[in-house]
Structure 1
Amino acid sequence: MDSVSGFGSDRIDLDENVSAPDEDGGVADTQIEVGTDERRMHVRAYNHWVSLLGGRPYPSIADLNPANIADFGPHSVLLDFSAGIENPAIAYLGKALRAECSLDSSTTHIAQVPSRSLLSRLTDHYLQIIANRAPIGFEAEFVSTRGFNTMYRGILMPFSSDEDSIDFIYGVINWKELVDAEAQAKLDAEIAAAVRTTPSTVVTAPVWADGPSAGRDVERLDEADETERDDDAIAPAGASLREQLALARDSATAVRTADTRSRSTLYRALSRAHTFAAAADADPEAYETLLDMAGIAVQLRAPMTPIVKLVFGVEHDKTRLTEYAAVLAYARRIGVAAGALRAFLDTFEGGIKGVVKAERLARAPLAKVRPDPRALLAERPTLASVALETASSSGHYVVLLARVRDGEMLDIVATMADDSTLIERAMRCATT
């Protein structure tokens, strides 16, 4: 399963900033202001799409020529839905993307795209365009068919041949491969060794930039190599809340730079986030300062959400952040000790998913028990008694339909004893 994550300081959340439909179902002609950070290929692609709108809900496909776009054309694909959405044709496939996926000219439709190729990461999202009728941006990482852990960012944009229906989608994707786990481990060991021999210094960057391991306004911790100490080690005695946050962020970064499918790495990061949450409870003023600097709001109904945003980053996948917050909330609910969450998750049936389910059940309000209407009606006084033939047994209920006469008499015109749903509804109405 792909795990969604950010790329660092040049990230922009296109799901929130791009997909802004106007009243006609399209997108307003507003370009993204990216300042000095115009390296972002997907943002430039979006701005190009906006430049082609011309006041229309969608740009005309006649105005698009991917082969002439030197900037991002080689990283793009054009899907043709004119023959249906079940298996769109590939009208254009950029040279760089074709080479990355090892595809030749025989690949002409989506159904022929290998499931674990980079192109499939982009085409998997095309139905969202049909549903949202606006550009969709996304970023994640996955293990490719060659076995490389690959981080990618992309955008899909709708085009039309009649200015009304979406029958073409143009996608642009950029990517980079991470080093393998063995090389990463060697690199981590070399960095750790260098840190141990380097005098402590003070880093003056803000406590939060754009990622879990960005600049930190804390004194560097003189730590041993991660692999040589306890996985759930906590900050040294007397460590500030910022230092504890730094330690938790280190583990969160490992979730993204190591094999992201590693359960133990994620459990360790959650355990340290849990430890940081306990430290934040003990130092609310420092915690509030960290939230202010990161631009994160306190959520009274979800107090652990700001914690996981600080540790894993606000750009992390929202679904994952919600799950992580539920895990920390349940750990607090049942009193899991600081530093013990990893062991707890290892033994909890279902792991993270099981804990999330348990937390949701614990938060769910108890269903209101409705009294039996028959018992309530049995205590009601009789308003009137009439003699009518009925096939129902004594004690059963029937519904009588009556017509008012002279404002005080009721003429019964029908009796209903076979419609149990109607009878049940009438009994509940009479007792509420």
Structure 2
Amino acid sequence: MDTLRGRDIANDHDEVDYAVEDPAIEAPPEIGSDERRMHVRAYNYWASLLGDRALPSIEDLNPSDIEDFGPHSVLLDFTVGVDDPAVAYLGGALRRECEIERHIDHISEVPSRSLLSRLTDHYLQILANAAPIGFEAEFINQRGAEIVYRGILMPFSSDGDTIDFIYGVINWKEMASRDLTDALVEEVDQALRSAPQSIGTRPIWADGPSGESSRMAEFGDERMDSLDDDAGLADRLALARDFAQEAGNSDARTRSALYRAIGLAHDFALATRDAPEDYAEMLEDAGIAVQARSPMTAVIKLIFGVDYDKTRVTEYATILDYAQGMMMPAGSLADHLEAYIGGIKGLVRDVRASRRPEPAAKADPAIEARAKLRVAPAIAPAALPVDADGLAVVVARREADGSVSIVAALPDGAKLTQQVIAATA
């Protein structure tokens, strides 16, 4: 597309680079070709309705007739108000995904943790930009499933000038849960550990096409010990990155390689204390800023990459914080993770549990009330709230000299006042 008004589309499967072609549309990461094509087809459909107008006419839109992406769409009507627009149309596929069984009239009725709520959250951007907005992210839905989605919102008008309708199209995928994938990795790793080792055929020439990968797979543990105590910070970083890359590429030894990578990250973090200037230069070159509340995050990003999964970055940084707090020596963290019950997940869970503050003990209201009444000023009898019969329920305090002071009284007409009078009569 050349402008926000689009161009003539000969083939509605053409790929569109939103970030380059259309700065008003955000450029989300890839989900897959099917979802990307639906995203593009929806935009091309919107552009085909423009003609010579600034905005497509709502009269030209009938979502129920769009077999392609109509079931994945929603139409919002702003003629009833901007704060709570009406839901004029909701596609069947989107309704089923959100488990919406009843009819909904306004977006205030949209379930808060549903996929539809993620789409409707963006509608104010359309009103501000007067142009289509693309977006993509992931979240945990109402079923507790991890969903990755891509959507686009497109403005429509009833008079050619005012945006009073917004048409949204969204597609999604349900991802396997992290607990499931971690459990599968654990099972595969245990099976490989218990299986007899086989000796494969290796190329004779060490500098052959697979020489480096063979050395990494066969001599990984020796490489950990190959650095001298006085090795430079750059060498330690390179070694840690090697194992981080191996952990990402290896299927057979993922957990062991990952433990070694995290262990080397701890060793690198310890070494930065002796070379702070070199470390600062590395961070600057990588465009990484150190967070005061979590300095180990910078170490993990430097080793695993700035685009590494944010959840994993947080977990690995938590492990490094733990190792630093325990004053673990260099070379010891990988073995510690191997022996820890539950591995990475178990250690992170226990560390986070230990950081949660103990709930404050609830004060006994009776004790607090007595403490107040012990020092409360005396009430003059003439100021007591009495009923029609001149009766009052009071709290009296015996003073040190033996006299009695009235320090509180129940209000006249209170139910408790009548109950006390009845009980004492």
Report the equivalent of 2:206: 193
Task: Report the alpha carbon displacement of residue 257 of structure 1 after superposing the two structures with TM.
Answer: 1.6
1:197-212 alignment, distance < 5 Å: none
Report the equivalent of 1:227: 218
> In 1, Cα distance between the equivalents of 2:370 and 2:223?
58
Match status 1:129 vs 2:119: yes
Contact 2:266 2:330 in 1 (8 A): yes
Q: Match for 1:384 among 374, 379, 387?
A: 379
1:66-85 alignment, distance < 5 Å: 80-81=72-73, 84=90
Match status 1:274 vs 2:266: yes
Q: Which runs of 5+ in 1 are unaligned?
A: 1-17, 20-27, 35-39, 65-75, 90-108, 112-123, 140-152, 173-180, 199-220, 402-411, 419-432
Contact 1:79 1:169 in 2 (8 A): no
Task: Report the alpha carbon displacement of residue 389 of structure 1 after superposing the two structures with TM.
Answer: 5.1
Q: Match for 1:286 among 270, 275, 278?
A: 278
Task: Report the alpha carbon displacement of residue 281 of structure 1 after superposing the two structures with TM.
Answer: 2.2
Residues 126 and 389 of structure 1: CA distance in aligned 2, closer, same or farther (over 3 Å):
closer
> In 1, Cα distance between the equivalents of 2:73 and 2:354?
46
Task: Report the alpha carbon displacement of residue 307 of structure 1 after superposing the two structures with TM.
Answer: 0.8
Task: Report the alpha carbon displacement of residue 302 of structure 1 after superposing the two structures with TM.
Answer: 1.0
What SS class does the counterpart of residue 170 from structure 2 fall into?
strand
What SS class does the counterpart of residue 24 from structure 2 fall into?
coil
Contact 1:29 1:50 in 2 (8 A): no
Report the equivalent of 1:30: 24
Task: Report the alpha carbon displacement of residue 308 of structure 1 after superposing the two structures with TM.
Answer: 1.0
Contact 1:248 1:311 in 2 (8 A): yes
Q: Deviations over 1:190-223 (max 9, x none)?
A: 699328999xxxxxxxxxxxxxxxxxxxxxx999
Report the equivalent of 1:297: 289
Task: Report the alpha carbon displacement of residue 164 of structure 1 after superposing the two structures with TM.
Answer: 2.9
Which segment is superposed worse, 225-234 or 237-246? 225-234
> In 2, Cα distance between the equivalents of 1:332 and 1:348?
17
Contact 1:255 1:266 in 2 (8 A): yes
RMSD: 5.7
1:410-421 alignment, distance < 5 Å: 412-415=411-414
Residues 228 and 326 of structure 1: CA distance in aligned 2, closer, same or farther (over 3 Å):
same
Task: Report the alpha carbon displacement of residue 341 of structure 1 after superposing the two structures with TM.
Answer: 1.6
Q: Match for 2:321 among 329, 334, 338?
A: 329
Give the TM-score, by structure 1 length.
Answer: 0.49
Report the equivalent of 1:169: 170
> In 1, Cα distance between the equivalents of 2:36 and 2:224?
41
Residues 368 and 392 of structure 1: CA distance in aligned 2, closer, same or farther (over 3 Å):
same
Contact 1:160 1:168 in 2 (8 A): no
Q: Which runs of 5+ in 2 are unaligned?
A: 1-17, 75-88, 99-113, 124-132, 139-147, 158-163, 174-188, 193-197, 385-390, 399-406, 418-425
Residues 381 and 136 of structure 1: CA distance in aligned 2, closer, same or farther (over 3 Å):
same
Residues 317 and 166 of structure 1: CA distance in aligned 2, closer, same or farther (over 3 Å):
farther
Task: Report the alpha carbon displacement of residue 384 of structure 1 after superposing the two structures with TM.
Answer: 2.3
Tell me the amino acid that sits aligned with residue 343 of structure 1. D
Larger radius of gyration: 2
Tell me the amino acid that sits aligned with residue 30 of structure 1. A
Paired residues in the alignment total: 292
Q: Deviations over 1:40-63 (max 9, x none)?
A: 989999899888678769999969
Contact 2:247 2:258 in 1 (8 A): yes
Match status 1:157 vs 2:152: yes
> In 2, Cα distance between the equivalents of 1:280 and 1:138?
35
The structure in which a higher percent of residues are helix is 2
> In 1, Cα distance between the equivalents of 2:90 and 2:289?
45
Q: Match for 1:355 among 347, 350, 353?
A: 347
1:45-56 alignment, distance < 5 Å: none
Contact 2:136 2:150 in 1 (8 A): yes
Tell me the amino acid that sits aligned with residue 207 of structure 2. A
What SS class does the counterpart of residue 282 from structure 1 fall into?
coil
Task: Report the alpha carbon displacement of residue 344 of structure 1 after superposing the two structures with TM.
Answer: 1.9
Contact 2:27 2:135 in 1 (8 A): no
Report the equivalent of 2:227: 236
> In 2, Cα distance between the equivalents of 1:197 and 1:84?
55
Residues 197 and 317 of structure 1: CA distance in aligned 2, closer, same or farther (over 3 Å):
closer
Which segment is superposed worse, 379-388 or 300-309? 379-388
Task: Report the alpha carbon displacement of residue 350 of structure 1 after superposing the two structures with TM.
Answer: 3.6
Higher RCO (C-alpha 8 Å, min separation 6): 1
> In 1, Cα distance between the equivalents of 2:204 and 2:57?
50
Q: Deviations over 1:328-385 (max 9, x none)?
A: 1112112222222222223334432333233334444565667652463264244327
Residues 44 and 222 of structure 1: CA distance in aligned 2, closer, same or farther (over 3 Å):
closer
Tell me the amino acid that sits aligned with residue 292 of structure 2. L
Contact 1:308 1:321 in 2 (8 A): yes
Contact 1:129 1:156 in 2 (8 A): yes
What SS class does the counterpart of residue 230 from structure 1 fall into?
helix
- State, as a whole percentage, how many aligned pairs show the same letter: 26
